[in-house]
């Protein structure tokens, strides 16, 4: 099972001191967190993509490219790549390049984003969010799997005889997760392609999480990718720990109360009762997160949000030490012990996808070369898009 940390990159004043880091300080702190995650033996570092204050990770590939040169083992991921407002041609180029630089240690989590004003900034209409996500991802898959692409859709100019450069490392595109917290259409999309589904459930109760993941699992099986319990599932989480639970609550409360993502709403006690947020001892964190396998079934990736709400870098690194030394080993052991043999313990990685050989559905496919073959390929693509949309409407 993969464990790691993700960042949303908020620039938030420390409510106990009033000091607000500069954007430069915040960016460098995220790099320190990623490098520390590798030193601790965590498997994944992921960054969000935001284009509005108070967040700074507007260029994930720049950040992850820098980290590719400073790390050796950790998987570099996005906790959101905006499939709606980014051009899929540019996504194909940027993340293939990153994949080469990182030696394959790259995957992506596609998402629509949760900030409405971003859409018009990039010339898009938020009312078309779901259709944009469906069409753009379909094109991205073709760009990564065909040497020459002829394509026509609704939301961008047509492509004729287009070749994306560079092509993915070893002709194996990065593994893709589809991130959503409330859109069954996105879970359907993940299931249709046999991709991963990441439910970043940091704001949601267990009942909602179970409903979304179960829907994805059933559709994964429906499309013939394997049994429902073999689908690739990831979850989010938030923790703050001290040796004494009362100390943890007392220290974290001002950060919670003023956090840009959940401050000024339900109380800390209400939030910890309802969501994955756990403020207490390492033992309490272990107990809470072990319960999620009973809610969603055996899953493959657990990411934690550690560096938010104005917490100092020193405190974040202390929290990561506790997580890696006292929480993750127990969770890993317990999750592995309960997992049936037929259920994968890890999601696909570059190495595992390469090992599947040339016949794998994840590998490059050769392009059609004759005009009539191109027309047939376009017709097949249109049928595939229609089937996806129909299944989403029925869902």
Dump pLDDT digits (tens) for 86-97.
Answer: 899 999 999 999
> Would you put residue 382 in left (φ > 0), alpha (ψ -120 to 50) or beta?
alpha
Q: Determine phi and psi for 197, rounding to 5 degrees.
A: -120, 120
CATH 3.40.47.10 fits 2-394, yes or no: no
- Poorest-confidence range of 128-137, 159-168, 364-373? 364-373
User: Is pLDDT above 70 for 393?
Assistant: no
**Strands 159-162 vs 149-151: parallel, antiparallel or unpaired:** antiparallel
Mean pLDDT score, 192-199: 96
For the chain, the structural domain boundaries read: 2-394
Who contacts 77 (Cβ-Cβ below 8 Å, separation ≥6)?
4, 6, 44, 45, 46, 47, 64, 106, 107, 108, 109, 177
- What are the pLDDT digits (tens) for 286-338? 999 999 999 999 999 999 999 999 999 999 999 999 999 999 999 999 999 99
User: Is pLDDT above 80 for 75?
Assistant: yes
Give CA–CA dist 342/340, Å, rounded.
6
- What are the pLDDT digits (tens) for 230-256? 999 999 999 999 999 999 999 999 999
């Amino acid at each position: 099972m993969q464990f790691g940390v993700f960042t949303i990159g908020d620039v938030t004043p420390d409510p106990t001191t009033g000091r607000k880091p500069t954007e430069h300080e915040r960016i460098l702190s995220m790099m320190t967190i990623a490098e520390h995650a590798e030193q601790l033996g965590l498997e994944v570092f992921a960054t969000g993509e935001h284009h509005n204050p108070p967040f700074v990770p507007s260029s994930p590939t720049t950040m992850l490219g820098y980290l590719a040169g400073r790390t050796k083992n950790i998987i570099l991921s996005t906790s959101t790549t905006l499939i709606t407002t980014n051009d899929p041609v540019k996504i194909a180029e940027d993340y293939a390049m990153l994949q080469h630089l990182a030696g394959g240690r790259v995957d992506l989590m596609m998402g629509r984003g949760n900030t409405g004003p971003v859409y018009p900034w990039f010339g898009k209409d938020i009312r078309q969010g779901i259709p944009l996500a469906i069409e753009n991802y379909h094109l991205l898959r073709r760009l990564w799997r065909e040497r020459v692409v002829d394509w026509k859709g609704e939301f961008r100019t047509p492509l004729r005889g287009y070749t994306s450069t560079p092509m993915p490392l070893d002709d194996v595109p990065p593994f893709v997760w589809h991130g959503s917290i409330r859109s069954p259409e996105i879970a359907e999309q993940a299931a249709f392609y046999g991709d991963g589904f990441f439910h970043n459930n940091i704001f949601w109760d267990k009942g909602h999480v179970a409903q979304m993941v179960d829907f994805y699992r059933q559709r994964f099986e429906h499309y013939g990718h394997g049994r429902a319990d073999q689908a690739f599932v990831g979850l989010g989480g938030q923790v703050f720990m001290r040796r004494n639970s009362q100390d943890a609550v007392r220290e974290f409360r001002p950060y919670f109360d003023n956090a840009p993502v959940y401050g000024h709403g339900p109380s800390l006690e209400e939030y910890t009762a309802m969501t994955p947020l756990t403020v207490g001892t390492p033992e309490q964190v272990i107990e809470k997160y072990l319960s999620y396998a009973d809610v969603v079934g055996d899953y493959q990736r657990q990411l934690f949000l550690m560096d938010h709400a104005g917490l100092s870098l020193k405190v974040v690194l202390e929290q990561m030490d506790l997580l890696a030394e006292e929480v993750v080993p127990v969770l890993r052991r317990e999750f592995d012990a309960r997992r049936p043999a037929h259920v994968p313990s890890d999601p696909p990685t570059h190495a595992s996808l390469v090992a599947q050989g040339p016949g794998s559905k994840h590998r490059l496919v050769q392009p059609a070369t004759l005009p009539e073959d191109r027309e047939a390929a376009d017709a097949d693509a249109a049928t595939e898009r229609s089937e996806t949309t129909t299944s989403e409407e029925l869902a």
